[in-house]
Amino acid sequence: AQYGTCSLRKMSVMEVLELLDQLVDESDPDVDFPNSFHAFQTAEGIRRAHPDKDWFHLVGLLHDLGKVLVLFGEPQ
């Protein structure tokens, strides 16, 4: 109910990917590259493995976007 209305903030996918770079993921605290790089890397890996499944490429790109909620007070 809290997030269903999307009334807290509206952002593009690119804006959320940029925000991801501001956080340190507790599951990978020692990674030296931005979190957005992981999203693009995942999407590209899926594209190479499954070139005919464009929906899957998109899922690879979006799979970690929810982590941005930590910047708005949610726990990781």
Per-residue pLDDT at 26 = 76
Task: Report whether 57 belongs to an annotated binding site.
Answer: no
Look at the chain and report how many structural domains it folds into: 1
pTM across the whole model: 0.79
Its sign, for the CA torsion 40, 43, 47, 53, is: negative
Residue 57's domain comprises: 11-70
Contact between 46 and 60 under an 8 Å Cβ cutoff? The reply is yes
> Could you tell me if residue 4 is inside a domain?
no
Quickly list H helices, the chain.
13-20, 35-49, 54-62
> Could you tell me if residue 1 is inside a domain?
no
pLDDT at 4 over 80: no
> Could you tell me if residue 3 is inside a domain?
no
pLDDT in tens, 36-76: 998 999 999 999 999 999 999 999 999 989 889 888 888 88
CA atoms within 13 A on the CB side of 48: 5
> Could you tell me if residue 42 is inside a domain?
yes
> Could you tell me if residue 6 is inside a domain?
no
pLDDT at 29 over 70: no
